[in-house]
Structure 1
């Protein structure tokens, strides 16, 4: 039996070029290294030059400046769109700010004018004076002339009006540009109290209004135990103030020892037993009706307002 013939060698391996074989160590390998480095540098140079060169379709490559310009244009367009969409709200904001500014300017101008000499007091008018002389009150307040209406000192006005005991209350009313009106309410006298100094006119609160040597006409003589500081005087004062004008004109005397036994004396000689100051309005109506029916009566008792007792 024969042995098979050996396989032939691979002709490709035998024909492989020398360049594909790994370099041999030695002097030859050292000579090939610079050749590889120079080839890599040539390839990099070729890539850089290819980026600077025009594209195959003829367009220029995008630079940093072009990118910056495009971004700026985009921001500008975005701002323009924002302004377009917010135009109505900005217009409303401008209108509101303009209105608020106008109001602030108006208020500021008004306040500045009010405290300026443009609104200084040039005329003082007194209203409500009956027993008092209005000219005397105006003269007492003359130091307020030339003062801006907004700066009129109420404490100084009060101090000036204290010289007039007949003034019970008052109110100041500024009437731009130059008028100051003083509205006063006079005290209502209820009678006179006799003392060593003479006859002192008093109101229902016991405030002394004036003192004269003789009894003033039309003012009843008040005889109260305890004086003007007592509760009996307070009750008598309320009774006198509740009387109708026709009965008040004929009143000549008032007596009381307690708050519940007020007695009136009329100029006709009639005595009216009033009692306390409670239900004085109803008692006044009962007394008026009883006097009409009994004009010659010596006394009338209205302590009970429902029924008048005629004596």
Structure 2
């Protein structure tokens, strides 16, 4: 192990001299000196007297003392404000010339603000398309929501408003359904708000009457309900004892008259089915009314009666005495077209015969 080399001699410290702070001009010995120092010179006589007095207290200069007159005294600091220093323009520090303007408070000659009477307008900056589109969408959405809210409010007022309650009901196009019977069935609708009544509610009330096929309901402000009734057409009539019954194409009784000679019953030209044929067999009766239901109204008006011994032997008796052999219920639509054409024809081949057989509609036969 090698010996450690000797340490170099320490560098002697530099002697420091504590500088005593001279008292300020205003007598404040403890105040800190300002950043801007101004040095003042003291008179030579005052300096000499201070040096003479630097000896022991109360003793003057002796013979061995050397009195050195000082021309000037060490400069001392004086606290002065920036306003005092630069109060005289000659005392202000020189300004550095520079092409760049120095920031500072505006002078009176500078116009930093626009006058109120100045007509200058700000430059228009174009709005981005994205911002414009977004604003239009928000505006359109606001209008839509407002419109929907108004409509909902109006509908709510009309739907629940007691000002639109039903006080009058008008029944139209009712033929077999009497006015008194219709008013009796529609009685629960009185006093209900008009917007709450529709076809479904009216048809439900009239479902007890088989003559009603459909209804059309209209409201008339402020308190009137109009009901248009579409009835099943009667296709056959049966005299059961002293009552005259009307049947639809489904074999259902749609109207009954206590007096067979009732004028209202005469308004309907319906073929009559004998009581024996109607009561003997339900299948035969259903076939007869189904065949009559295939006929147009003009053809039924030319019929006097209908009869059948079986479901395949339906016969129709015309008002002039001619007999139409229909046969079964199959191909009923084609047979109806052929019969309508024969009834409209004035040819002697059809008018001067007793029997017209259309059981095969492609080749009608007369006898």
**Normalising to structure 2: TM-score of the pair?**
0.54
**1:278 and 2:330 correspond:** yes
The root-mean-square deviation of aligned C-alpha atoms, in Å, is 4.3
Aligned partner (choices 231, 243, 249) of residue 186 of structure 1: 231
Of the structure 1 ranges 188-197 and 270-279, higher mean CA displacement relative to structure 2 is found in 188-197
Corresponding position of 1:212: 258
Aligned length: 249
Kindly report which structure 2 residues correspond to 1:108-123, keeping only aligned pairs within 5 A, or say none: 108-115=152-159, 116-123=161-168
**1:252 and 2:304 correspond:** yes
Q: Is the 8 A contact 1:290 1:308 kept in 2?
A: no
**1:306 and 2:362 correspond:** yes
Corresponding position of 2:182: 137
Residues in 1 aligned to 2:302 and 2:142: alpha-carbon distance in whole angstroms: 71
**1:99 and 2:150 correspond:** no
More helix per residue: 1
| Structure 2: segments with no counterpart, 5+ residues | 1-7, 19-31, 37-94, 96-101, 103-126
Kindly report which structure 2 residues correspond to 1:1-311, keeping only aligned pairs within 5 A, or say none: 19=13, 88=132, 91-115=135-159, 116-134=161-179, 137-138=182-183, 140-152=185-197, 157-158=202-203, 160-162=205-207, 164-196=209-241, 198-208=243-253, 209-212=255-258, 214=260, 217=266, 218-223=269-274, 230-290=282-342, 292-293=346-347, 294-311=350-367
Relative distance call for 1:99 and 1:304 in structure 2 (3 A) is: same
Q: Is the 8 A contact 2:243 2:256 kept in 1?
A: no
* Structure having the higher Rg: 2
Corresponding position of 2:42: none
SS at match of 1:109: helix
C-alpha distance after superposition, 1:128-185 (max 9, x if no partner): 3234444653464244233212323767634542454422222333455544232211
Residues in 2 aligned to 1:261 and 1:159: alpha-carbon distance in whole angstroms: 39
Q: Is the 8 A contact 1:167 1:184 kept in 2?
A: yes
More strand per residue: 1
SS at match of 1:189: coil
| Structure 1: segments with no counterpart, 5+ residues | 1-12, 21-31, 39-48, 60-83
